A and B are shown apart, each in its own frame.
Chain A
Amino acid sequence: DTGVSQDPRHKITKRGQNVTFRCDPISEHNRLYWYRQTLGQGPEFLTYFQNEAQLEKSRLLSDRFSAERPKGSFSTLEIQRTEQGDSAMYLCASSLAKYEQYFGPGTRLTVT
């Protein structure tokens, strides 16, 4: 399967712990997006990269969140000092410029 992959698929953590998620986009895609989806809501934009440059961050992305895309390939999203409100599905998508965004399966985070 050459689609977008995300790891892990599920993560349970205790409040206050740090977590890191990984996204591997489709290999030739230069754009990578992170979204967050909570129960009953559609996905909400968090941040996006064009190649290795992070070009926009949503106000949803507090100082506890950081994202990287070294070398313009895979990306990581780290949440420090997790809070119960961080519990959500974290989705990654990739695309070529203005074309269709392809989504990964998501990482479901549960903060206890």
Chain B
Amino acid sequence: AQRVTQPEKLLSVFKGAPVELKCNYSYSGSPELFWYVQYSRQRLQLLLRHISRESIKGFTADLNKGETSFHLKKPFAQEEDSAMYYCALSSGGSNYKLTFGKGTLLTVNP
């Protein structure tokens, strides 16, 4: 069975500080990992996916298969980064359904 674990429900940092949101997964095959973000009163939207290896809004995430992790990082947090962040896994195959973690609420203080 596939599982995604986000150990921190809440994370609070000051503006300009580095931020790291942790994500660990459990899956026996070759998963595809994503980070989704939900800003206040907005819908869930894709932030980044590991296969694209992009940096979106200054965020990066590297898939570490040895540690089964996909942590999200940003060197200098901004107040507008305050949001709920969900790590998600897709097993691929034919349906691409997503398995989500419980989410981490990031607050960036001024």
Tell me the A residues contacting B by CB distance below 8 Å: 3-4, 31, 33, 35, 40-45, 48, 50, 55-56, 91, 95, 97-98, 100-106
Known: A91-B44, A100-B49, A101-B98; 8 extra A-B contacts, CB below 8 A, are A31-B96, A33-B97, A42-B4, A42-B102, A45-B99, A95-B96, A98-B96, A103-B44
Least CB separation from B86: chain A residue = A42
> Would you give the shortest CB distance from B64 to chain A, in whole angstroms?
21
Docked complex: B10-47 residues within 8 A CB-CB of A: 43-46
Tell me the B residues contacting A by CB distance below 8 Å: 4, 9, 43-46, 49, 86, 88, 92, 94-103
- Asked if A48 meets B103 with Cβ closer than 8 Å, knowing A42-B86, A104-B43, the reply is no
> Would you give the shortest CB distance from A59 to chain B, in whole angstroms?
11
- Assembled-state Cα–Cα distance A101/B92 (Å): 13
Contact yes or no, A40 B43, CB < 8 A: no
Chain A residues with Cβ below 8 Å from B100 are: 42-44
> Would you give the shortest CB distance from B93 to chain A, in whole angstroms?
10
Chain B residues with Cβ below 8 Å from A105 are: 43
Chain A residues with Cβ below 8 Å from B49 are: 100
What 3 A-B pairs come out closest when comparing CB atoms? A42-B100, A103-B44, A45-B97
- Asked if A40 meets B98 with Cβ closer than 8 Å, knowing A100-B49, A103-B45, the reply is no
Chain B residues with Cβ below 8 Å from A3 are: 43
| Interface hub of B45, B96, B103 (most chain A Cβ within 10 A) | B96
| Interface hub of A44, A100, A104 (most chain B Cβ within 10 A) | A100
Q: What are 7 inter-chain pairs, A to B, with CB distance below 8 A?
A: A42-B103, A43-B98, A45-B99, A48-B95, A91-B44, A97-B96, A100-B49
Chain A residues with Cβ below 8 Å from B44 are: 43, 91, 103
